[in-house]
Structure 1
């Protein structure tokens, strides 16, 4: 059964003709001589081109500049080939280690190993499966490459395809004869093809890829795939329909974009409906463009209901943080924070605050913007601690993860069963997937004196995470570990400060909540 924590992407390595993990000969060591020869063939040309660029001296001629750009393009291709080999071989080494490892007997386990085994059972995770090994290693590679997990997963797909399914493409890439985009297009369109079909595609496309544009190679690879794929067009459409989804991403200046992937007939029906509604809008005083009207109508329909209805029964839950000290000091230049997005204009935040059913004051550090203190000691986090973590962390605290506070849970840094407390210093927000990484797959997290957290991967890489609410990191000495603990206010001090706000020791962040309605469609009473 597929684990729900590992959602498949559009590209799936299981659609490539790969041998089982732990048996892939390309990543196996034949002998010291052959391994050394392959290493020289992979990195020797790269070193030669780098030396040529270094010894060429300062640029004086535009024609020479273009030739150097060609050399750099070759270097980029060689680097991508080396990256693919290293990624594919590294994850294969992990698979080999699991394949060769004897089954551990419970009485030989350490306490930490026992906890990880029990956690793996709790999360229904087979730590020796190819799916879990790849996902866990991809997460480590994302930290090493300073990229998102999604991008690292895409590179791993390409890496395995080049190393184990498309060897001729890998050789051409390592020689700098083709571009990275061309190599990715060939691997992508190798899905669902046999080894013989892939060899034929490489034979036809690699000579073209050496001189043609990436777009040409991509179109030819797709046409070859469609002609060679034995599935009927109807079957392919039914499979593609499983990938329907809605995604979003942030844009500058308080904007964001929404992307719908659905059957073409549904998308065209939506666009035709919007076109019709715009055509019925006859107000001569309205200066909005057609594009603006279409956007406004769609937003109105999804949030408040179509114009002819009474609206949807559910109301959105929006959380906005307003720094009161900045607002009072310079209201025109200060910015508020919209949870899951980031800074928004203060005027928009105040407009939301006007109709907010609840406002929660929280004491914050006026220099860094980090929330300073709330907390109680018991296993289940109380509501006030959860609100504190929403304000401080804002999203999952795993390196690079941006899953919102609503989709994350309170997690103990040091486990409750090993003596950890339920307080602000020993709790963080983690999504379900990265809870599993921490508790079952060998990841470690350590609190630092300055409030940051250090994540350590199963193979020894370190990554530092600063709470999402922190804006100024000037005093964060997380590298040298020299920043002392801040003095924690006593409960009496906090009650006095919260009862009568002042601007001497800190700032107040007012948390504005617009909660989801109950089943009857009525908003709950303000808390």
Structure 2
């Protein structure tokens, strides 16, 4: 309710909480103690993600410690400046901030959230967004459902929503003579991601079984597919062309 009625009060409360950041040490029994840090949620989450990633990587070669023990040991090693034994990419300490474009442009004060945490004040979200170390990714969504339909050029692998949209839409490998179910096919960029600057989106996607995915770029073969109208054609090296048109999910009205 406070978020809807007075976004400014929410932002002020978050800033006061940020000013109270601290590290505490509590000594317990059996020669055990607890150290805790009160930090902004995005920083805490990123720090934990890095500790967890290192611990999970260590676990592949260390069966003497469980994951909780590995996290605790990695946490101590990092604080004390010791080498935990493995390295992880910087992306392992990443958190995902979601924010509508109107909120990013200060035209709205709603809709900002962090994965695994929930809504955060728009003003604080904009501070994260404008941090020089932040990475931006364009995500186009269907306004009717809120589901993403285009990840732009910054991601090669499709997320589960886009993959499912393509599977439901096309249902089978788009090569005219193939009937392999789409759920068992590769997610193929019709316009190549690396060569043709093709986007990872439903408008540039087609399910192709592994065999025909490889055949697509074979010498002498010409493949064409129109995701909007569902028409596909394949021309063989001998010049023979096969065509097909997918059935619609619902009868057009």
Q: Same fold (TM over 0.5)?
A: no
User: Greater relative contact order (Cα 8 A, min sep 6): structure 1 or 2?
Assistant: 1
Which is greater in Rg?
1
Q: TM-score range by the shorter chain?
A: 0.3 to 0.5
TM-score normalised per structure 2: 0.36
